[in-house]
Amino acid sequence: MDSLDLSVLRQAREWHAGGRAVWLVTVIETWGSAPRPPGALLAMRDDGLVVGSVSGGCVEDDLIDRVRHGERVDKPSLITYGVTKEEAARFGLPCGGNLRLVQEPLADSRWIDEVLERTARHELVARRMELASGRVTLESGTRGESFEFDGQQLRALYGPRWRVIVIGAGQLSRAFAQMALALDFEVICCDPREEYHLTWDVANTTFSKEMPDDLIVRLQLDPHTAVVAVTHDPKLDDMALLEALKSPAFYIGALGSRGNTAKRKERLALFDLTPAEIDRLHGPIGLDIGARTPAEIAVAILAEVVSVRNGVELRQKKAGSSVATCEVTSLPAR
């Protein structure tokens, strides 16, 4: 589950707290070319307002129409779209696709409070909902699990949000942070240099004046975290990398030429890092798209970060680049 779905839960909680009737709609099964995977989530208010998505739009229109015409589901119910070719075409399910949903009333939003609190601490949480009773229980999730539905209950994964730590607060970091926010990353920028942190003005990011290695240790990086070092100052970049390479962060990269990357690896080898840990470093950072400007370099870096997160082979790298050899396990599609 990604943070877009956490936003769906957050909005559902606000509607419920405001006294509105709210339903959660979850994709539980698909066949053929259904547009949204199992686990995709939508929240719907009693006046037809929706947040989230379970299809390309036509299924949402039908759900809204049902509510606006007075349908009030008072217990978890199954809905199937696209049984016939005509229905598939009507509801925007190409090539005979079929979509099966469960719609449930949000009777108690306290479990959403707990989900949001735990995912904010970078925990992975699983929600189990019994179809017969609507009872919801929460339990710890495990990385690599996927959405489950056995006909009696569904089990959906929630959070944590993907985040990226940027070491350095220069022009490149500003462009990178703005693009990372657009891709729904939580962004933390770290730079202890006064001349840089006084001018950081990227909204909706967190700024730290700590020494980067202290920040890395304090945050206790998890597999939902990327680290991007772009200061060109070994005192800052290398110290952060020393700690990050020992962590389970899914991506660790540093700006610099192939020659500088080789020298950096030689420096890192002088410390308590194993060859396997050093080999996790991506450098020169980013995919080879001929980037020249700060914005273009930011695109190249983010393209590599997203590729690694999604478990895609990094084909577009400059010859001689250091490509991390660690196995990447991305979160499953919902």
Using pLDDT thresholds of 50, 70 and 90, give the confidence band for residue 334.
very low
pLDDT of residue 326: 46
Q: Specify the higher pLDDT residue, 3 or 164.
A: 164
Contact 27, 37 (CB under 8 A): yes
- Provide the number of structural domains found in the chain: 2
315 pLDDT higher than 80: no
Task: Pull the structure tokens for residue 246.
Answer: 């020992």
Among candidate residues 109, 127, 158, the one where a domain is terminated: 158
From residue 201, how far is each of 5, 170, 194, 207, 233 by CA, in Å? 28, 11, 14, 9, 22
Contact 11, 141 (CB under 8 A): no
Contact 85, 125 (CB under 8 A): no
Task: Pull the structure tokens for residue 94.
Answer: 């190409």
Residue 51: strand pairing partners: 43
Among candidate residues 96, 126, 158, the one where a domain is terminated: 158
Contact 194, 169 (CB under 8 A): no
Q: Are residues 81 and 42 in the same domain?
A: yes
Residue 330 lies in a domain: no
Residue 331 lies in a domain: no
Q: Are residues 14 and 146 in the same domain?
A: yes
Q: Is 14 helix (H, G, I), strand (E, B) or coil?
A: helix
Q: Are residues 145 and 220 in the same domain?
A: no
Q: How far is Cα 186 from Cα 330, in angstroms, rounded to an integer?
A: 17
> Which segment of 13-22, 72-81, 137-146 scores lowest on mean pLDDT?
137-146
Contact 64, 52 (CB under 8 A): no
pLDDT of residue 3: 63
Using pLDDT thresholds of 50, 70 and 90, give the confidence band for residue 58.
confident
Q: What is the mean predicted confidence (pLDDT) over 176-201?
A: 92
Residue 327 lies in a domain: no
pLDDT of residue 35: 64
**H/E element, 162:** none
Q: How far is Cα 269 from Cα 278, in angstroms, rounded to an integer?
A: 7
Residue 16 lies in a domain: yes
Q: Are residues 136 and 188 in the same domain?
A: no
Amino acid at the residue 289: I
Q: Are residues 87 and 181 in the same domain?
A: no
Q: Are residues 172 and 144 in the same domain?
A: no
Q: What is the mean predicted confidence (pLDDT) over 57-74?
A: 89
Q: How far is Cα 39 from Cα 25, in angstroms, rounded to an integer?
A: 9
pLDDT of residue 153: 94
Percent of the chain at pLDDT exceeding 90: 65
Choose the most confident range, by mean pLDDT, from 54-68, 196-210, 240-254.
Answer: 240-254
Using pLDDT thresholds of 50, 70 and 90, give the confidence band for residue 97.
low
Here the CATH number for the domain that contains residue 231 is 3.40.50.720
First to last CA, the chain: 6
For the chain, the maximum distance between any two Cα atoms, rounded to a whole number of angstroms, is: 70
pLDDT of residue 328: 44
128 pLDDT higher than 80: yes
Q: Are residues 205 and 304 in the same domain?
A: yes
Give the range of the structural domain holding residue 175, as residue numbers without chain letter.
163-309
Q: Are residues 284 and 140 in the same domain?
A: no
| Alpha helix stretches (DSSP H) within 198-324 | 212-219, 234-244, 258-268, 275-278, 294-309
Q: Are residues 179 and 287 in the same domain?
A: yes
Using pLDDT thresholds of 50, 70 and 90, give the confidence band for residue 325.
low
> Which segment of 16-20, 95-99, 140-144, 215-219 scores lowest on mean pLDDT?
95-99
329 pLDDT higher than 60: no
Residue 216 lies in a domain: yes
Give 234-274 pLDDT, tens digit per residue.
Answer: 889 999 999 999 999 999 999 999 999 999 999 999 998 99
Q: Are residues 22 and 153 in the same domain?
A: yes
Residue 328 lies in a domain: no
Using pLDDT thresholds of 50, 70 and 90, give the confidence band for residue 229.
very high
95 pLDDT higher than 60: no
Residue 321 lies in a domain: no
Angle at CA of residue 123, ends 273 and 217, nearest 5°:
30
Cα-to-chain-centroid distance, residue 193: 30
In the predicted model, what is the mean pLDDT of the chain?
88
Q: Are residues 124 and 188 in the same domain?
A: no
Among candidate residues 139, 158, 177, the one where a domain is terminated: 158
41 pLDDT higher than 60: yes
96 pLDDT higher than 60: no
Task: Pull the structure tokens for residue 107.
Answer: 């009777």
Residue 326 lies in a domain: no
Percent of the chain at pLDDT exceeding 70: 89
Q: What is the mean predicted confidence (pLDDT) over 300-317?
A: 87
Q: Are residues 301 and 207 in the same domain?
A: yes
From residue 276, how far is each of 49, 224, 229 by CA, in Å? 51, 20, 19
> Which segment of 4-8, 167-171, 321-325, 327-331 scores lowest on mean pLDDT?
327-331
